[in-house]
Structure 1
């Protein structure tokens, strides 16, 4: 099958074969001036270094430490890192050279295409993974390139990088694994699928049948050696960034009939999960717009990952803080897993990590459980995904309770703080609207390959988002649970003067927080309400509305007295809010026929925390109705 990349007027076509080996036609390569000096420690270098009587081709650019060593995948030479990507994009090699020293090399028998063969001296084939790691060590030593290094490796090169780190642990400061090989692939695939895969991966690519020096590695032996190394020398603490493809790999024509692409993709995703679990603080990113060659299709993602690991090698604290700014005031604050840990792939199994949603942005997502429909939890204003993993007492949280019944996902909107840290999702310009949040959520679920239909569960402002999502994408939304949700009915139940006060109270005094965290989530409720009003009517679907029954009226005077609320808030404003909120919640429950309205919640605004079992039961009722094919709870 042919992949086409447009690069100005140059069209780059890759025929995929073996372990996803590119055979390129019409490539545009960023050239590097040839060097005659043996040392590649400084300056631009493009030449061959002696490694005990034979020569290895090496090229280096840039300045600074740690040096980044780019390790190509199976049968790929160094040129795979300098292929010109799409318009406006810089190859990984050239981009990394802008902020540190970077080197790439040709293993013997590696290629870019039939016209770009390895520039290193030939060796007998097949090769072992140990020999390849030792060869790289000898090359760097002979060239005078000082460690410790950041190893950035693609495909089978990831196994070579990890074996290098296990063999020479003091020489590695961090790793970036780009859709890398994981040593348990054979066991996960099973004997029949593994045999079919080997049949697919072993033959020489087209036009290279006569290239006797073509790289050949015993996958089974290499994987076994990696497992042994992992047992004797587990990966020591270091920044680890795993980037995994978001699209299925495109296979060469005529794969063996016994080969199952679906089984291969599932096994590969499991391998990515295991790679990301090598370190508890690893970062895992899904490159939603790429298949195997992420460094060509989305080079910016690879460069950003390398930069993050280089920064962490220079300043270890940067790996854990992610951003320098910290908000003074936050919503929620319960402990959550690390923002960067990704123990599985999106779309199935457990997942915690960042998803590329396009436009250069990434969003944080966590999912657990199995089954359909998928429940999507949408938190309130300035609240992050962990808001659904918090509960009073010892009761199971909503997230964990729902995960026992079906698949459930929660996410961070941009600007939603995590305890005293900023949001794990990339920032956007604030304030935003409900329509902005709906577009982000739709992009996130699509990029993460979380299949519809969804039961959308929204608390407070999240309820407004969930409702607008269901009206915008009716085919995706099969059910709704609205937990003391914000609604345009609140504005309509108050006078303009009352609503002006309500708006101030909704946002709160965030001046101190904004000074420390300018990207803090803020919303334009008036525009958001207008967006909801302009949306198509809600289609019939199972709907449960849960409303708080603890009144605000008696609480407001004390809140004014202790300074929590401004002194100019009317003392009776709580009673005004209670009356308006009752009307608004009643209107929510009348949106579709057969909706259920739970008003005896024995709870304040945060019902999902005070009464998580009540919210979980409501979600399960809607899930059951969807599974039964109902469009109304009254059916």
Structure 2
């Protein structure tokens, strides 16, 4: 089948800025869809997919996996996987941290590391280089764990899988705890040759806690040359064996419902021993994806097809808003465009954070329409490794009006046009409401997620000074990050004296229903959390009453960060607003 083309796809091999001070070396080549993404094994990188085992090397004829033992002549070849796949579709690969040590290298990280960091890096990389799905992931060894967690986290983006003798979480069901501990320690260890350490048991736990694996066309390739036995003097206690490995890979194939190929005439690095088999497997999955895509693509007359806007490419980067830059990322297609506005001090990651439950809001909304998230100056990243705002700093504290001006300029600089649905959390609720007041023709709907509001100050007037003291940014945070986003609460709320109304539009208000934590600062009334909870409930009802036909959701099973604790509920609320906008309604009900 002929390749399905995408707009202008440049060939490149370069460093890519993925935000948060990190860069990844990546290379892409070829034209067409789906994009094939090659994920290397433990300690290996992009270069491996352009190599083969010399066809004349006698290692091909030996019974054991000599390549994994460091034997055999590897040569760069046009018959290798990367250049071969590039002749039929788009293909990309990249280096993880601590793979190469000379030339342009991916930003290092502490080792050993966890698999979610690799998933986060890959997701950010694909967005930064503008490679839209669907993707066919082709993974070798440890790369299989990355592709599995990625597919469970972003199931809508994965169209097919080729697993090349990969590690799988099913190993924990096949070996003793002692053998699994040994294997975990071996993979976590680093040395002067292999500087990447991976945490296998942690990866298994993360995969088991993630969403379900999508049902997509899959092929699993199994090595049939045993690896060299480990010298007995290096083994202590229980360990995994080649028999265990074979059982693991075959069970993976069964679990995926995959075509499993066990006659590979190859050791562990099948793409080196038998590149044609890997290439043929990729071509088979790509053809399957193209056939399915062609059959299921909605035509213009299909009422289920979502409305689209011209020029909607995935973006992730900084944009000049007039003397400084701000970070924004957008993905998906359709109208209206959803703008996700985080609460005070939190960057875009809030809506796609590995710290919360899955599936997260950002990729979920992208299935339905265009969605964007951005970093305000001085915010911090909602990830285990932390990180500061990818937007240039500004003087603090900020106000809703300055935040609205920034957002409006950023949308224009990024080429994002309305109508917009604003989905906002906490302080972001002030930004959304003022944006809608100042730019009423651009905003078609809103979802306010336990938002901060002028109604809260009125509902707890007696304890308001104590509330300010309770919520003032601690001095230690400001000392550590002087540019950290801070809000002058009274000044911020004073901006709403003449801007209290919300124009008629589909509106959903979501209110947390779990208690706020008790105060720990000295001098704060012990009941401030209880009073705040009651006042917030009152204020949220009042906000919902500002728009006729608004929906107020009070059963959220969540604390303040509803998008982390109950992301499905938040996503459903946003989709309800999108649907109402598309149907031409000015209210939810």
TM-score w.r.t. length of structure 2:
0.50
Q: Answer with 1 or 2: which has the greater Rg.
A: 1
TM-score w.r.t. length of structure 1:
0.46
Higher relative contact order, chain-length normalized (CA < 8 Å, sep 6+): 2
